[in-house]
Structure 1
Amino acid sequence: MADKPNIILIMTDQQRYDSIAALGFPYAVTPNLDRMVQEGVALTECHITAPSCVPSRASLFTGYYPHTTGILANGQPWQRTWVERLRDTGYRCVNVGKMHTIPYDSDSGFHERYVVENKDRYMEGRWYFDEWDKALAANGLVKQQREEYRKRDDYRERLGAFDWELPEHLHSDAFVCDMAKWWVNTYPQTEPLFLQVGMPGPHPPYDPPARYSEPYLDRDDLPLPQPTKQEMDELPSALKEKRQHDVDVDHDSVVWNLDPTREQMQRLWAHYLGNVTLIDQKVGELLDALRERGYLEDAIVIFTSDHGECLGDHGLIQKWSMYDVVTRVPTIIWSTANRFEGGRTVDGLCQFFDLGPTILEFAGITPPADFEAKSLVPALEGRDWTPRRYVFCEQAGDVALSGTEFITGVRDERWKLVHFKGSEEGQLFDLQNDPKEVHNLWSDPAHIDKRRELLDVIRDWLIESNYRTRDINVGAR
């Protein structure tokens, strides 16, 4: 084995844990990701630190919680990353696709970046032309996006689910993976390599070519969400406002419906899962290209996502909440040179940003002592490893979260608490007896002690975090 393995980090955007067959969702067609699960290590309780793109990614690529980075919502600038450490120790660092740095084209420690951003940029970054925009323009095509979708008579009925009608190779996820394959096949072989591939999907618009969604449209056994009126009535005010906001404002070409029909939900899930199947196919093609060029002889390959998606669960669409369908992400780590035993799971609690020091340690780099993220290498290598007792999540008010200034979440193996700043409302779930997070116990007198206990945990975590990171110059990040 080489001193420094090649490291391939493949990230999707807004992919639920339960969207991969081998992770317990047999409805999905994901043969390539299934193989990674079967041959690698799946982290079954990996939770993000922020339920939206920018703060989650800034947390991952810095090693700190959102309140430490100061990146608490989408649209906030960040660009410094631990990728610089890989570059400075001899790695060729290449990004193809979405990183969601702001500015978008910051080098962020990479030697080369081929930036592809959100599929539908209507406000933030609307006139930023990425590699995908340029490719569409070079082919004389107009990107499928909000302005075009709004012309459809059935726009409000689609819930963001559309067919990709332009050439298939110019779909955003196909384009990103094909560009990554082009780089792998064209650039003179260079090792060690750190290659980050960022897929824009299955983030909305939910828009795979029809051949990917059609098989799911014909399935009558998809476990579609069926939230009850009681659950909707008991949602905290901030989430009720979010439900209505997503009806009134079409973020990412999604117009939500407070009471969608089964046909609408079937189409929504079919397009979402179809996009996942497209991604799976392209991941397989990319891994084949890496194998043919010799990059997989000794490599660590990581597949994950920056957060999940409600997709109708709890009556909500998209992210910006702290249900497990949003905070728990698929995370698979695969060693092609038997650096650790595969074909197993790591079931203890960990956080998405723990992947940062894990990557550094595999690269032979000692993670900074003040990192709040913790390396997972001991868990992967079967050594003594203590799972996190608690995982935390933070989110400031955002474009689609206007009913609160700040949300903080804490979760252990059994309990989850969500605190809404300035509100007497909150959420408390007993995950052992209520794994779907339907019955909110926040106001139940029988559970007031558990509520106080978890609020104390948040307080103590923030105090410890602020003390631990007191010397960090956040402005430099």
Structure 2
Amino acid sequence: MNKKNIVLFVADQMRSDSLAHMGNTASITPNLDKLAKEGISFENAYCQNPVCVPSRCSFLTGLYPHTTGHRTMHFLQREDEENILRKMKQNGYEVIWIGRNDVLPSGMPKTEYCDEFYNGLDQLNRVNPEGLSESSFFKQSGDYMKGFTRPEFMKDVSPYSFYLGRQDSELAEQGFDYNCIQSALDYIDRRTKEGSEKPFLLYISLIYPHPPYVCSDPWYSMIDRTKLPEKRPDVEKLKDKPGMLYGIREKQELKSWTDQKYDELRATYLAMVSQFDEHYGIISDKLKASGLYDETSIFVFSDHGDYTGDYGIVEKVQNCFEDPISNIPLIVKPSASYNVKSRISPALVELLDLPATISEIAGIDLGYTQFGKSLIHTFNGDDEHKDAVFCEGGRLHGEVQAMEGGHGPKSHYWPRLSTQCEEGPQHTKACMIRMGNLKYTYRLYEKDELYDLDKDPMELRNAIDDPAYSERLTEMKARLLQYYMETGDFVPVKRDAR
């Protein structure tokens, strides 16, 4: 029987070039590299917004962030909005949701979306939370910030750097990702023992490598600091970059950092990626031992990326689209029922292609408008998928509800969030389109951007005023207009009573 099982194994804030098979000379990711050799690793996969909530609302629905107004961390899905988890459950799948939410409001029962829900704080099924707010994660996870040591040269770094260092191993074994992996293993064991033949969707959403940059041994010590790729130059050395980058750079207190400090932070981030790789390997081994691996399609990806010191800043922003934060890993290993040409594919793909792909694998009709396109045709070697991909974010002047204010200077996030609350051009609307080797960003209130990724892979020279690109720029502007015309809204399937 072809059960068409699905596993979604999701990182938080992992950039595509953090994987060894993507060319990172310091990265250690043997399990994901092996997975790429069994399936397809898409080197040109893009998220649709470079922060958590808008991205997840997009890749779980197949709708762009602007279509339903998901442009802020504080606006989550409404009850009348569909997503792939609820649709899979309605169509007979056993849906197990483990880990990060960032989609539904805190404390909202998830009985319509999954059969079991584990929030990573413990290993209890909280599909009906009975009043427990998931916002308690930030309170209960205080130990995640404790029990760490730093090299002497990193002792006095600013908290705005998000750098913590080497975490105590015992604390790491009590943490969020550990609980998530144990919950997944327990489910697979129970399923195997019961002999269930019901198809399942296992959605495992971990926290690594999200800042703070902290990791335990052996991963912390595994990364060779001398093998790190080149860092992108500090943004003040560059012209015509977006105001958000300059604004954050002024506040994150990293201007005095040496290359050694940046390298230590970048290595710790890669250690977190290596631990994520280890956790995937544990789940992969369990599926194999349980006889489920061959009949399961596996998707490994991230919601967005991380600057990790590039341009002299850390973390992420909502309205900038350089590859470190918009180009994410996406590895797909289809079930054995598909003929697969294993490779690194250059196809342009988007995260919102996932619901269309999953529903076709499952043989179900999602029943509402989709802007994603199924990836199944790529499995056997087709590297032509989309002519363009998009990433968007930011706000209008005066949109106070999108500023995400309320964080004072004691917050690690203050450099970004305080800049978001300014009424200059920093946090304002923008949309990126990539076609072929060119990335064009239309900005509502400041200078547009254009980068030739063949000639300028680090996105250092804004070529928007270069007449050599005028013809292609006109083409990209027309395609951007088409994009907004096609996806600006959609008519709900359910009719309201008159």
User: When the two structures are superposed, what TM-score results if normalisation uses the length of structure 2?
Assistant: 0.82
TM-aligned CA deviation for residue 368 of structure 1: 4.0
Change (3 A) 1:474 1:326: farther
The SS at the match of 1:349 is strand
Measured in 2, the distance between the counterparts of 1:386 and 1:280 equals 29
The residue identity in structure 2 corresponding to 1:268 is L
The answer (yes or no) to whether the contact 1:214–1:270 under 8 Å persists in 2 is no
Change (3 A) 1:474 1:8: farther
Measured in 2, the distance between the counterparts of 1:323 and 1:474 equals 40
The answer (yes or no) to whether the contact 1:9–1:195 under 8 Å persists in 2 is yes
Report what 1:97 is aligned to: 99
Q: How does 1:263-342 map to 2 (within 5 A)?
A: 263-320=260-317, 321-342=320-341
Q: How does 1:408-423 map to 2 (within 5 A)?
A: 408-423=431-446
The question of 1:143 aligning with 2:143 is answered yes
Report what 2:249 is aligned to: 243
Unaligned runs of 5+ in 2: 122-131, 396-402, 405-415, 421-425
The answer (yes or no) to whether the contact 1:70–1:474 under 8 Å persists in 2 is no
The SS at the match of 1:14 is coil
Change (3 A) 1:226 1:50: closer
TM-aligned CA deviation for residue 381 of structure 1: 4.0
The answer (yes or no) to whether the contact 1:310–1:325 under 8 Å persists in 2 is yes
* Number of corresponding residues: 445
The answer (yes or no) to whether the contact 1:105–1:115 under 8 Å persists in 2 is no
Q: How does 1:192-203 map to 2 (within 5 A)?
A: 192-203=199-210
The question of 1:407 aligning with 2:430 is answered yes
The residue identity in structure 2 corresponding to 1:113 is F
The answer (yes or no) to whether the contact 2:235–2:246 under 8 Å persists in 1 is no
Report what 1:14 is aligned to: 13
The SS at the match of 2:248 is helix
The residue identity in structure 1 corresponding to 2:15 is R
The SS at the match of 2:7 is strand
The answer (yes or no) to whether the contact 1:22–1:38 under 8 Å persists in 2 is no
Q: Deviations over 1:451-475 (max 9, x none)?
A: 44433322221112236x2446799
The question of 1:204 aligning with 2:243 is answered no
The question of 1:391 aligning with 2:399 is answered no
Report what 2:171 is aligned to: 167
Unaligned runs of 5+ in 1: 118-124, 137-141, 248-255
Report what 2:407 is aligned to: none
Q: Deviations over 1:257-309 (max 9, x none)?
A: 13421121111111101111111111111122222223224110111111111
Q: Deviations over 1:81-131 (max 9, x none)?
A: 1222211221100011113123144416111111248xxxxxxx998234x
TM-aligned CA deviation for residue 386 of structure 1: 4.2
Q: Deviations over 1:316-344 (max 9, x none)?
A: 32222201121111111113425231422
Report what 2:118 is aligned to: 114
The SS at the match of 1:73 is coil
The answer (yes or no) to whether the contact 1:314–1:438 under 8 Å persists in 2 is no
The answer (yes or no) to whether the contact 1:161–1:267 under 8 Å persists in 2 is no
The SS at the match of 1:288 is helix
Measured in 2, the distance between the counterparts of 1:301 and 1:271 equals 27
Q: Deviations over 1:430-455 (max 9, x none)?
A: 12211221110123354445444433
User: When the two structures are superposed, what TM-score results if normalisation uses the length of structure 1?
Assistant: 0.85
Say which is worse superposed, 37-46 or 400-409, in terms of deviation: 400-409
- Percent sequence identity over matched residues? 26
TM-aligned CA deviation for residue 420 of structure 1: 2.1
Report what 1:374 is aligned to: 373
Report what 2:412 is aligned to: none
Measured in 1, the distance between the counterparts of 2:20 and 2:383 equals 28
Measured in 2, the distance between the counterparts of 1:435 and 1:223 equals 13
The question of 1:348 aligning with 2:351 is answered no
Measured in 1, the distance between the counterparts of 2:87 and 2:133 equals 32
Change (3 A) 1:244 1:446: same
The answer (yes or no) to whether the contact 1:69–1:474 under 8 Å persists in 2 is no
TM-aligned CA deviation for residue 171 of structure 1: 3.0
